[in-house]
Amino acid sequence: MKVIKRTILNPPSDNRLNEFQLFHQVRLPMDFIDLIKYANGAEIENLSVDINGQERLVERFLCILDDLDGDSGQSQYEIGVVIAQIEDRLTDDEELVGTKIIPFALLFGGDFLCLDFRSNSVDPSVIIWDHEESDELSPITYFIANSISTLLEK
């Protein structure tokens, strides 16, 4: 994986990761924590995922920022901000407390790679969330990999 265009942001603090997990009521897998600490907010080159024989380009990893009010100019790519913008299209349960689909990478064309906690709250799978097909309380997703580690091994 080659990082380009912008310096990778400072990794989120352990305290910020704990706050994120408490707010969204999830336990982030270690492979995700390793990824976010290594490539927080990175724009990348030559990383794509295969969905039904079609290659999808990953534009950037989203970030978790310790300070949303800082001058990094990256707050639009902060995971919590992205969730807030599309949250009613990430769930089919309007009574849900917490978050079951967590975007972590922006794909070319506006879709997101996401952690999917709907079936397994301990070991989330990786899915693509389709922004064009998804509607309020009707997320359209496609399975990609059993874990972030499996995705990156591809």
The tokens for 3 are: 């990082």
Q: Each residue of 130-145: pLDDT tens digit? A: 999 999 999 999 999 9
pLDDT, tens only, 100-111: 999 999 999 999
* Mean pLDDT of all residues in 91-118: 92
pLDDT tens digits for 6-54?
557 899 999 999 999 999 999 999 999 999 999 999 988 777 877 778 8
Q: How does residue 70 score in pLDDT terms, banded at 50, 70 and 90?
A: low
Residues recorded for the chain: 154
What's the pLDDT score for residue 27? 96
Domain ranges of the chain: 2-153
DSSP 21-63: HHHHT----HHHHHHHHHHTT-EEES-EEEETTEEEEEEEE-B
Is CATH 3.40.1580.10 what the domain over 2-153 is classified as, yes or no?
yes
Confidence band (pLDDT; 50, 70, 90) for 93? confident
Flag whether pLDDT at 1 surpasses 60: no
Per-residue pLDDT at 3 exceeds 60: no
